[in-house]
């Protein structure tokens, strides 16, 4: 990789760190936000869901619009929009304004992350696309390693509003970095509205994208309340919670690296199967048992490596269906990620209010099992269609 390409990739990693971290700082800050804004668990889940719903609706349209402009301009614009969302959250004086900040932040992330993935695919050969996608996705993983533990620490010292202010400032700095290092002339292939329409009407494509919603929904059942799960089951304090969230991020980072290489070696479907098995192993004890601080750290590493590393293999399954429209594919996939996130977050709030935290693990495992069965069905259907042809 030449120096210019390395610098651009590094900037996109930092961009994903900023937009995803800024969007999901709320997970580490949720207990204090709930207390200050007087929210129930269901209402807290709605704060996460409103972000996800906005992302899901806007991502395909923003992805299509983004193909009309150079990559650098799109990425810088997206980063600044996400920064505005974080700064709005820092100054929110009630649930309504806080929800509005979540909508703005979602617009920025919905534009940035698919564009960064499309850029990574466009500059790499097919046999290295799994590695390229996982490299850019390192920013998403680093948001777990850095953003959430840092937010927990800042919240403990300065309050949750300061965490959002710092995130907004970081995103402004990333925008300046992108202006300096990203090539200004590189453009995605323009996609017409006919291509956009064809993608949405492609039954096989949309069926595989719905698989993304299942995996995302299951993972977000745990994600939305991960801080409260560890506080309740391991008796953590504010300081020890930051350490456990750091361990979860380390697991996510390692799992993303492994997933990228596994895709290139054994394929996306087998990679997803391995992730599903690990989710089934870890989720029930994570939410149902009481454990020590050290056990919480181990559980967090395994949970991070299995729950939050499914994006790259799901992207690879889709891109093979429409290679020429990677930007549109990633936007559609991102929409389904956040459809799952919205449903999972809302469902988790209802489960916690009705049954308790301990039922989140079994519920997530049931949804992942359904996703695995559905994936097998789709793969067998595709094989039959090839035989007929």
pLDDT per residue as tens digits for the range 242-282: 788 888 888 888 888 888 788 888 888 899 999 999 999 99
Average of per-residue pLDDT across 157-164:
91
Q: For residue 46, how far is the Cα from the chain centroid?
A: 17
- Per residue in 187-215, pLDDT tens? 666 666 676 677 777 788 888 888 989 99
Q: Cα–Cα distance between 343 and 345 in angstroms, integer?
A: 6
DSSP summary character for residue 188: P
The pLDDT, as a whole number, for residue 281 is 92
Question: Could you tell me the pLDDT band of residue 389, with boundaries at 50, 70 and 90?
Answer: very low
The pLDDT, as a whole number, for residue 93 is 81
Structure-model confidence comparison of residues 184 and 51, the more confident one: 51
Question: Could you tell me the pLDDT band of residue 227, with boundaries at 50, 70 and 90?
Answer: confident
Structure-model confidence comparison of residues 192 and 304, the more confident one: 304
- Here the CATH number for the domain that contains residue 187 is 1.20.1250.20
* pLDDT more than 90, % of the chain: 25
Q: Which two tokens stand for residue 253?
A: 């980072």
Contacts of 190 (CB under 8 A, 6+ apart): 67, 68
pTM over 0.95: no
Average of per-residue pLDDT across 285-313:
90
Average of per-residue pLDDT across 44-65:
79
Average of per-residue pLDDT across 2-19:
77
- Choose the most confident range, by mean pLDDT, from 22-36, 41-55, 159-173, 345-359: 159-173
- Report whether 133 contacts 120 (CB < 8 A): yes
Domain housing 42 = 3-388
pLDDT surpasses 60 at 80: yes
- Among 87-101, 204-218, 322-336, 370-384, whose mean pLDDT is lowest? 322-336
pLDDT surpasses 60 at 28: yes
The pLDDT, as a whole number, for residue 56 is 79
Average of per-residue pLDDT across 95-115:
88
Q: Cα–Cα distance between 252 and 250 in angstroms, integer?
A: 5
The number of domains in the chain is 1
Structure-model confidence comparison of residues 51 and 86, the more confident one: 86
Cα atoms in the Cβ-side hemisphere of radius 13 Å centred on 159: 8
pLDDT surpasses 50 at 315: yes
pLDDT surpasses 80 at 43: no
The pLDDT, as a whole number, for residue 365 is 93
Q: What's the count of helices (H) and strands (E) in the chain, helices before strands? A: 17, 0
- Per residue in 334-380, pLDDT tens? 788 878 877 887 788 889 888 988 999 999 999 999 999 999 998 88
Q: Cα–Cα distance between 123 and 85 in angstroms, integer?
A: 30
- Choose the most confident range, by mean pLDDT, from 31-45, 132-146, 261-275, 290-304: 290-304
pLDDT surpasses 90 at 141: no
Structure-model confidence comparison of residues 270 and 119, the more confident one: 270
The pLDDT, as a whole number, for residue 191 is 63
- Among 152-166, 182-196, 240-254, 289-303, whose mean pLDDT is lowest? 182-196
Q: Cα–Cα distance between 340 and 331 in angstroms, integer?
A: 14
Q: Which of 298, 294, 306 is nearest to 236 (CA)?
A: 294
Q: In which residue are the tokens 């996703």 written? A: 371
pLDDT surpasses 90 at 286: yes
User: What mean pLDDT value characterizes the chain?
Assistant: 82
How many angstroms separate the Cα of 304 from the Cα of each of 114, 133, 312, 316?
A: 22, 18, 15, 21
Average of per-residue pLDDT across 164-171:
94
pLDDT surpasses 90 at 172: yes
Average of per-residue pLDDT across 77-105:
90
- Report whether 27 contacts 149 (CB < 8 A): no
């Amino acid at each position: 990789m030449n120096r210019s390409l390395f610098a651009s990739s590094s900037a996109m990693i930092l961009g994903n760190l900023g937009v995803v971290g800024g969007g999901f700082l709320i997970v580490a800050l949720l207990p204090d936000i709930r207390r200050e804004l007087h929210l129930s668990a269901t209402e807290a889940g709605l704060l996460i869901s409103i972000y996800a719903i906005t992302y899901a609706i806007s991502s395909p349209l923003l992805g299509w619009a983004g193909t009309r402009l150079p990559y650098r301009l799109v990425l810088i614009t997206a980063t600044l929009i996400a920064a505005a969302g974080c700064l709005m959250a820092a100054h929110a004086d009630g649930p309504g304004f806080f929800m509005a900040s979540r909508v703005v932040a979602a617009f920025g992330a919905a534009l940035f992350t698919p564009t960064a993935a499309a850029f990574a695919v466009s500059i790499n050969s097919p046999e290295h696309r799994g590695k390229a996608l996982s490299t850019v996705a390192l920013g998403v993983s680093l948001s777990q390693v850095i953003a959430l533990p840092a937010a927990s620490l800042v919240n403990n010292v300065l309050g949750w509003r300061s965490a959002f202010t710092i995130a907004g400032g970081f995103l402004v700095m990333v925008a300046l970095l992108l202006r300096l290092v990203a090539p200004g002339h590189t453009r995605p292939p323009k996609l017409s509205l006919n291509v956009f329409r064809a993608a949405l009407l492609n039954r096989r494509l949309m069926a595989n994208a719905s698989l993304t919603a299942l995996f995302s929904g299951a993972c977000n059942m745990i994600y939305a309340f991960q801080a409260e799960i560890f506080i309740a089951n391991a008796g953590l304090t504010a300081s020890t919670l930051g350490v456990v969230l750091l361990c979860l991020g380390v697991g996510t980072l390692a799992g993303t690296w492994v997933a990228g290489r596994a895709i290139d070696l054994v394929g996306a479907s087998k990679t997803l199967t391995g992730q599903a098995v690990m989710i089934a192993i870890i989720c029930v004890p994570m939410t149902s048992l009481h454990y020590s601080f050290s056990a919480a750290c181990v559980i967090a590493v395994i949970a991070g490596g299995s729950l939050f590393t499914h994006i790259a293999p799901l992207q690879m399954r889709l891109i093979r269906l429409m290679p020429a429209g990677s930007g549109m594919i990633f936007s559609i996939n991102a929409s389904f990620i956040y459809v799952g996130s919205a449903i999972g977050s809302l469902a988790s709030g209802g489960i916690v209010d009705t049954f308790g935290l301990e039922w989140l693990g079994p519920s997530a495992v049931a949804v992942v099992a359904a996703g695995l069965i559905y994936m097998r069905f789709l793969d067998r259907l595709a094989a039959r269609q090839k035989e007929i042809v």
